[in-house]
Structures are given as structure tokens and as C-alpha cells.
């Protein structure tokens, strides 16, 4: 009988695992822990003044207390007796949020809370006449101002989507009505403006600090300061703006309110 011999290749196996593919907009995080996030909030309060919005924007005590507890979710998603489990499995029960996703989520919530008023948890800028909405582009720029690092629009959008999937935040479209006095057949043009954003109370219930004494005192103080300054937290869904042309044919008139105005978020 012939002896069967196994052929072996003289070449060594040099095959290696393919490197992880990263998107072209991928950026390394500078802020990676709860302590670093909280330090950024303190530094922002000390040194940053946002002139674009006409007044100083600061993280209040009740903002930081909610952020502090939420940041425990980064390293330990099952903390506080699995309080954050719905957020952990917001995408899928079999594919929970990874640590980097949880980190991004906490930082995005921090920026949103910076513009959140205490009475109704609305996200915007309180002014004398009304409350202005904030665009996502402005919030992305504020993210860089707070944390000293950039975030891509796609990464920001994914974090907002995760919050919407557990009904943590509600976003409603807002419109601007323009009266065109030169076109009687089509007198009103309605275009969209920055969407109205508001945190649902269920989100703060999940975090579970708004019932504490120091947080309640901070919320009350925030509301009193807003009233003392004469600032409004009422959104105007439809603003009236007259389009002037030369020569003017007819005097301006009131713009009709759309039929579905009563279904708006804040009416």
C-alpha cells in the first residue's frame, strides 16, 4: 500500500482580520467619561458667553443634576435597578446601544437641556414677546462650544432619533405665514421655521431626580427669574410678516390661519 502523505504549504498564513471601517466623518471623542462631561459644563458656565442669543446661557443646577445621573448610564446601562433599560434597548432588544452611542446620547441631552426652560420643559430661547425655537444647526454648534469637539449631523440626528423612539422628546413643525399684498389670489405664503421641541415628562421621570428638594428649589428659582425678567415661554406657531414691495397695490391684511392650527402642539 502506498503511504498517503498530507501536503503542507511552505508559505505561512499571513491573513489578518480586516480593519474596522469607519465613515469619512468619523471623529474621535475627546470627552469620554462622566467626570469630563461635568467638568465641561462647569467650565462652560464660567467662561462662555453666547452673544448670538443676546443673553448669557448657563447650565442651571437642575440641568446638571439630571445630566449627572444620566451619565451613569454610559458605563453601567443597568444601573439604578435597570431604570434606563428602555433607553438601552431603544433600537432593538437584541441590539442595545453601545458605549459610544450612550456617551453621545448623554452629551446631546446636555446640549438640549441648556436651552430647556423649567416650567414646561420646552427647548428654546425665552424672549419678551415669545419663545423662539432653536435649530438643530445651532445646537450642533453649541455642542462644539460646550465640549470642545465636533459632532457630525448624522451622529446628532441618530441621537435625536433614539430619544424620539422612547418618547423622551417631542418635535412639532412650526410655520411662518407671509402676507403678499401684491398677489390677491394667493395672499399668504407659509414656510417652515425651526421646529418646536419639548422634553416629555416621562423622560425626567425615568431619570428620577426632579422630585428632590434641591432640584425643586432650582426649578422654582428658574421660573421666578424668567418672570422677573419679563420673558415669555409661549411659542407662536404662526407668525405674521408683511412682504413689502414697491409700488404697493393694496394695504396689508391679516393672514388666514390654517385649518389644522388647533392641532398644533402648544395651542
Going from N- to C-terminal start, the domains of the chain cover 34-170+198-236
| Model pLDDT, residue 263 | 55
Q: Which residue has the higher pLDDT, 129 or 252?
A: 129
Lowest-confidence segment of 11-15, 47-51, 104-108 by average pLDDT: 11-15
Give the closest residue to 124 by CA, choosing from 169, 65, 190, 66: 169
54: pLDDT strictly greater than 50: no
CA 174, 57, 218, 159: dihedral to nearest 10 degrees?
Answer: 60
| Model pLDDT, residue 243 | 38
How confident is the model over 10-40, as pLDDT tens digits?
555 444 444 445 666 667 888 999 999 999 9
87: pLDDT strictly greater than 90: yes
| Model pLDDT, residue 194 | 77
Q: What is the pTM of this model?
A: 0.75
Instruction: Report the mean per-residue pLDDT for the chain.
Output: 80
Where b means 16+ CB within 10 Å and e means fewer, 236-260 reads bbbeeeeeeeeeeeeeeeebeeeee
Amino acid at each position: 500500500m502506498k503511504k498517503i502523505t498530507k501536503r503542507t504549504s511552505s508559505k505561512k498564513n499571513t491573513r489578518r482580520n480586516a480593519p474596522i471601517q469607519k465613515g469619512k466623518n468619523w471623529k474621535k471623542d475627546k470627552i469620554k467619561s462622566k467626570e469630563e462631561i461635568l467638568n465641561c459644563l462647569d467650565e462652560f458656565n464660567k467662561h462662555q458667553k453666547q452673544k448670538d442669543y443676546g443673553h448669557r446661557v448657563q447650565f442651571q443646577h437642575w440641568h446638571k443634576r439630571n445630566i449627572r445621573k444620566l451619565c451613569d448610564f454610559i458605563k453601567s446601562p443597568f444601573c439604578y435597578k435597570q431604570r434606563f433599560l428602555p433607553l438601552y434597548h431603544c433600537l432593538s432588544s437584541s441590539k442595545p446601544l453601545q458605549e459610544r452611542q450612550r456617551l453621545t446620547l448623554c452629551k446631546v441631552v446636555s446640549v438640549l437641556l441648556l436651552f430647556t426652560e423649567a416650567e414646561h420643559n420646552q427647548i428654546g430661547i425665552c424672549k419678551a414677546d415669545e419663545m423662539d425655537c432653536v435649530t438643530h444647526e445651532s445646537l450642533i454648534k453649541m455642542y462644539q462650544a460646550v465640549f470642545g469637539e465636533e459632532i457630525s449631523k448624522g451622529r446628532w440626528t441618530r441621537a435625536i432619533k433614539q430619544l424620539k423612539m422612547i418618547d423622551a422628546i417631542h418635535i412639532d413643525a412650526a410655520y411662518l405665514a407671509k402676507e403678499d399684498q401684491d398677489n390677491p389670489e394667493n395672499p399668504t405664503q407659509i414656510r417652515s421655521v425651526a421646529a418646536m421641541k419639548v422634553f416629555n415628562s416621562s423622560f425626567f421621570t425615568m431619570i428620577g431626580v426632579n422630585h428632590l428638594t434641591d432640584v425643586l428649589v432650582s426649578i422654582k428659582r428658574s421660573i421666578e427669574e424668567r418672570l422677573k425678567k419679563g420673558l415669555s415661554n409661549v411659542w407662536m406657531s404662526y407668525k405674521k410678516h408683511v412682504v413689502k414691495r414697491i409700488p404697493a397695490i393694496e394695504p396689508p391684511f391679516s393672514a388666514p390661519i390654517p385649518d389644522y392650527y388647533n392641532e398644533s402642539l402648544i395651542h
